[in-house]
Structure 1
Amino acid sequence: MLSWFENDAFPLYLAPMAGVTDVVFRQICKELGADVMVTEFVSAEGIMQADERTRKYTEFTDEQRPVGVQLFGADGVRMGEAARKVVEWKRPDFIDINFGCPVNKVVSKNGGSSLLKDCPLLESVARGVAEACEGVVPVTAKIRIGWDEKTINAVDVSRRLEDCGMQAIAIHGRTRSQGYGGEACWETIDACARAVTVPVIGNGDISCGEDVARRQRETAVSGVMIGRAAMQNPWVFQEAKHFLRTGNALPGVPLEERWQLVMRHCRLAAESRRYGTERHAIMAMRARLMAYCKGFPGAKELRQRLAKVESVAQVEEIAEWSMSHPAGEVA
């Protein structure tokens, strides 16, 4: 068993999200209680070509462990070779295979959730990576419950993945065709968890500690994965742990503390090597900033201002304005 599931632990994963869960955001979420990290997905072909830009997506710090590097691709042999390269470079705690991404540019290359339509190919990829990493690092996988509502096959896929050597399976409770709309089907996630002996991590519509406690209580999952809720509220991990421990919700995070974290995130992003200049880093942060500020007093005007920021100083100026003109509590 993976060490983070031992002694009846119920780990909280930060879901891998392209353009979001970079090394800086993972650091923040780890500090706020996330147990297990997974990098943004990385192209196996990019790894094989030693593309420097691709390698940046595999960066992590020791403080973030346990951390896995997530790969996508459709060739089991090449995926296995790429996984071994990543292990040699970075020594992650595990390799994760992306069988769930719904994005067209990934699906069109026969990657991500497209493999849910081709189970023999999915098995070939999973087995290729598992064999390449055998005795070196464990391999896990992430899937969706199916391609569309007519082809929900997550239970069958989970069994196949276990047979191929996957040591844990994360399941997003939506089909590829749903994208991020509608509700996640936790009944299917639960059925998968009961169909296999490896840990299943449930993902979808987890936004607070009560949600985590409910899924732990009502399903057979061994942990949960939190994605979009953490973009707005990275405190969700510490809130969830408090709820699991006490049965009570923490009070909301004060506006000033939220802004302090936002500004720290901006400074860390500007200091990181990933984005180049401060201007590029802050421009890349714009969507993140608007997610952070969802529910803030005066959110509409905030979004208009944040959509134009180009420096840390501008973000700090907006934060000072926001904190000096609070129009009520944060929603």
Structure 2
Amino acid sequence: MTFPGPTSPFPLPFIKTDFPLFLAPMAGVTDPIFRTICKELGADVMVTEFVSAEGILQAWERNRRYTKIEESHRPIGIQLFGADGAHMGEAARIILDHEKPDFIDINFGCPVPKVVGKNGGSSLLKDLPLLASVAAGVVKAVGDRIPVTAKIRIGWDFQNLCAMDACRLLEDAGISMITIHGRTRSQQYSGAANWDIIDECARAMSVPVIGNGDIATAQAAAYVKENTAVSGVMIGRAAMENPWIFADTRYFLLHGVLPPARQPREKTDLILRHTRMALDSGHYGDELHTMRHMRSRILAYTKGFPGAKEMRSRLVRVSSLRELEELLSGLPR
């Protein structure tokens, strides 16, 4: 599927499906291992964990692990954040000289203080001329090599809802696709996503708009498809707990009903597989460091899982694969 758009320099041929389902970029979550799992379970398009443009320029070898992509994950974009258009463009060129992503995505939406404090992510929603300058700098640097996309929020706070203005500036800067998270920066991840604003922007733009926020079920994605003008949805936190949401959503969109319920064993098997993949990859170091990283992932997987509540205090301290196997063996199969 391609998206027509007179102001878009690229028709985005990497989007192959009707109403694509995106895996959202999430720091510490969407590493190559989790991307592999989500791709197998039906994610259509992926974006890497974000990486700092300044980090790329100052310490490429240390930061390039965030830009590593696998052929099986395509189509996939690499996400950059920063507040200097020239530096962002230079970082994008370095990435393209070493990796072959399907697109570069600019992070104008991250709400976390360590990113906002560096004038990155959603902080640029307070300075739309700077946001436009950063976008234009990356588009110019990349040229005709690859599409450039961007992700924003609907505004900094409820007194500064600027999504429409931001979208128009991004479109004028040559951005090929815009993802909108339907919350303000001040909301972080609380409250409800505002899909009315997302829809208004999608109807006004010539480039495709992808909607993000509160897509926790297949039914929610179907509702958005039928009732808004977005070209696809991006799923984040719901996938952390239930990566099957991609397969369930595609099935629901095709058949109008959910697939048969999965057995608890499928989830415990996935937890163990994910952990073994993390250990085998060496991505997070030795077994102890890897298990420490996996604790939050395991807790997300087991949220609401029958029998898991009683053992959560043990799961947050799990330090070996063998210990995890023993704990999971006590859950319903």
Q: TM-score of the superposition, structure 2-length normalised?
A: 0.95
Counterpart check, 1:189 vs 2:198 = yes
For the residues of structure 2 that align with 1:310 and 1:51, how far apart are their CA atoms?
31
Q: Deviations over 1:242-269 (max 9, x none)?
A: 0000000123321101011110000001
Q: Where in structure 2 are the equivalents of 1:1-331 lying within 5 Å?
A: 1-5=11-15, 9-323=18-332
For the residues of structure 2 that align with 1:160 and 1:279, how far apart are their CA atoms?
47
For the residues of structure 2 that align with 1:30 and 1:196, how far apart are their CA atoms?
29
Superposed displacement of residue 136, structure 1: 0.7
What is the aligned-residue RMSD (CA, Å)? Answer: 1.1
Q: Deviations over 1:220-249 (max 9, x none)?
A: 000000000000000000000000000001
AA partner of residue 224 (structure 2): R
Q: Which residue of 2 aligns with 1:329?
A: none
SS in 2 for 1:68: strand
SS in 1 for 2:186: coil
SS in 2 for 1:149: coil
Q: Which runs of 5+ in 2 are unaligned?
A: 1-10
Superposed displacement of residue 169, structure 1: 0.3
AA partner of residue 65 (structure 1): R
Q: Deviations over 1:125-149 (max 9, x none)?
A: 0000001111111100000000000
For the residues of structure 1 that align with 2:247 and 2:32, how far apart are their CA atoms?
19
Q: Which runs of 5+ in 1 are unaligned?
A: 325-331
Q: Deviations over 1:146-172 (max 9, x none)?
A: 000010010110011010010000000
Percent identity over paired residues: 59
AA partner of residue 34 (structure 1): A
SS in 1 for 2:329: helix
Q: Deviations over 1:13-71 (max 9, x none)?
A: 00000111001000000000000010001000111113433211112210000000000
For the residues of structure 1 that align with 2:222 and 2:260, how far apart are their CA atoms?
17
Contact persistence 2:182–2:213 (CA under 8 A): yes
Q: Deviations over 1:52-99 (max 9, x none)?
A: 332111122100000000000000000000001111111111000000
More displaced stretch, 49-58 vs 248-257: 49-58
Contact persistence 1:5–1:222 (CA under 8 A): no
What stretches of structure 1 move > 4 A for 4+ residues in a row? none
SS in 1 for 2:106: strand
For the residues of structure 1 that align with 2:261 and 2:180, how far apart are their CA atoms?
29
Q: Deviations over 1:282-316 (max 9, x none)?
A: 11110110000001112222311211111111111
Aligned pair count?
Answer: 323
SS in 1 for 2:98: helix
Superposed displacement of residue 5, structure 1: 4.0
| CA separation of 1:4 and 1:213: change in aligned 2, threshold 3 A | farther
